[in-house]
Structure 1
Amino acid sequence: SVFQDDLDLLLDSPSSLTVASSARGSIKEKPGFNAGEDAAALRKAMEGIGTTEKTLIDILTGRSNAQRQLICKAYQDVTGRTLVDDLEGDTHGDFEDILVALVTPPAQFDCDEYIRATKGAGTTDRTLIEIFASRSNKQIKALSDAYLAKTGNSLIDSLKSEVSGDYGKALIALAEFKSSEVHVVFGQVLYEAGEKKWGTDESKFIDILSHRSIPQLRQMLVEYKSLSGKTLQESIESEMSGKLEDLLVAVVKCVKSVPAYLAERLNKGMKGMGTNESTLTRILVSRSEIDLLDVKAEYKKMYGCSLYSAVEAETSGDYGQTLLKICGEKD
Structure 2
Amino acid sequence: MARSPARGTIKEKAGFKAAEDVVALRKAIEGIGTTEKTLVEVLTGRSNAQRQLICKAYQEATLVDDLKGDTHGDFEDLLVALVTPPALFDCHEVIRAIKGPGTTEATLTEIFASRSNKQIKALSDAYLAETGRSMTHDLKSEVSGDYATTLLILAEGKRDESTNVDPAKAKADAKALYEAGEKKWGTDESKFIDILCHRSVPQLRQTLVEYKALSNKTLQESIEREMSGNLEDLLVAIVKCVKSVPAYLAERLFKSTKGVGTTESILTRIMVGRSEMDMLDIRAEFKKLFGCSLYSTIKVFADNLADW
Distance 1:296 1:275, change over 3 A: farther
Query: Which whole-Å CA distance do the structure 2 matches of 1:275 and 1:117 have between them?
Result: 11
Report 1 or 2 for greater relative contact order, CA contacts < 8 Å, sequence distance ≥ 6.
Answer: 1
Pick aligned residue for 1:52 from 35, 51, 65: 35
Pick aligned residue for 1:282 from 269, 285, 295: 269
Query: Which whole-Å CA distance do the structure 2 matches of 1:198 and 1:191 have between them?
Result: 12
Distance 1:124 1:186, change over 3 A: same
Deviates more, 1:27-36 or 1:178-187: 178-187
Query: Which whole-Å CA distance do the structure 1 matches of 2:179 and 2:2 have between them?
Result: 29
Shift of 1:291: 0.6
Amino acid at match of 1:243: N
Partner of 1:326: none
Determine whether 1:211 maps to 2:211. Answer: no
Shift of 1:204: 2.1
Partner of 1:299: 286
Query: Which whole-Å CA distance do the structure 2 matches of 1:99 and 1:194 have between them?
Result: 46
Pick aligned residue for 1:90 from 64, 67, 70: 70
CA contact (8 A) 1:177 1:210 kept: no
Q: Secondary structure of the residue that 2:141 maps to in structure 1?
A: helix
Shift of 1:212: 4.0
Amino acid at match of 2:289: M
Shift of 1:48: 2.3
- Length-normalised TM-score, structure 2: 0.93
Query: Which whole-Å CA distance do the structure 1 matches of 2:202 and 2:117 have between them?
Result: 14
Query: Which whole-Å CA distance do the structure 1 matches of 2:261 and 2:230 have between them?
Result: 23
Q: Secondary structure of the residue that 1:162 maps to in structure 2?
A: coil
CA contact (8 A) 1:186 1:208 kept: yes
Query: Which whole-Å CA distance do the structure 1 matches of 2:188 and 2:25 have between them?
Result: 56
Query: Which whole-Å CA distance do the structure 1 matches of 2:7 and 2:160 have between them?
Result: 27
Q: How many residues end up aligned between the 2 structures?
A: 299
CA contact (8 A) 1:132 1:174 kept: yes
Shift of 1:181: 6.6
Query: Which whole-Å CA distance do the structure 1 matches of 2:286 and 2:187 have between them?
Result: 38
Backbone CA RMSD of aligned residues: 1.8
Shift of 1:275: 7.1
1:67-146 equivalent positions in 2, closer than 5 A: 67-76=50-59, 80-146=60-126
Shift of 1:82: 0.5
Q: Deviations over 1:162-216 (max 9, x none)?
A: 1101111111111111134797432122122222226452212201111141110
> Structure 2: 5+ residue runs without aligned partners?
none
Amino acid at match of 2:215: S
Query: Which whole-Å CA distance do the structure 2 matches of 1:263 and 1:92 have between them?
Result: 27
Partner of 1:24: 7
CA contact (8 A) 1:167 1:244 kept: yes
Amino acid at match of 1:52: T
CA contact (8 A) 1:177 1:211 kept: no
Q: Deviations over 1:256-279 (max 9, x none)?
A: 011111111111111144671111
1:199-278 equivalent positions in 2, closer than 5 A: 199-273=186-260, 276-278=263-265
Distance 1:100 1:130, change over 3 A: same
Amino acid at match of 1:293: L
Q: Deviations over 1:200-254 (max 9, x none)?
A: 5221220111114111010110111111111000000110111110110011001
Pick aligned residue for 1:176 from 149, 153, 156: 156
Query: Which whole-Å CA distance do the structure 1 matches of 2:228 and 2:286 have between them?
Result: 27
Query: Which whole-Å CA distance do the structure 2 matches of 1:215 and 1:180 have between them?
Result: 10
Pick aligned residue for 1:164 from 144, 147, 168: 144
Partner of 1:194: 181
Q: Secondary structure of the residue that 2:16 maps to in structure 1?
A: coil
> Structure 1: 5+ residue runs without aligned partners?
1-16, 321-331
Query: Which whole-Å CA distance do the structure 1 matches of 2:290 and 2:242 have between them?
Result: 21
CA contact (8 A) 2:2 2:115 kept: no
Partner of 1:11: none
CA contact (8 A) 1:275 1:314 kept: no
Distance 1:187 1:63, change over 3 A: same
Amino acid at match of 1:251: I
Query: Which whole-Å CA distance do the structure 2 matches of 1:142 and 1:84 have between them?
Result: 21
CA contact (8 A) 2:52 2:85 kept: yes
Deviates more, 1:203-212 or 1:174-183: 174-183
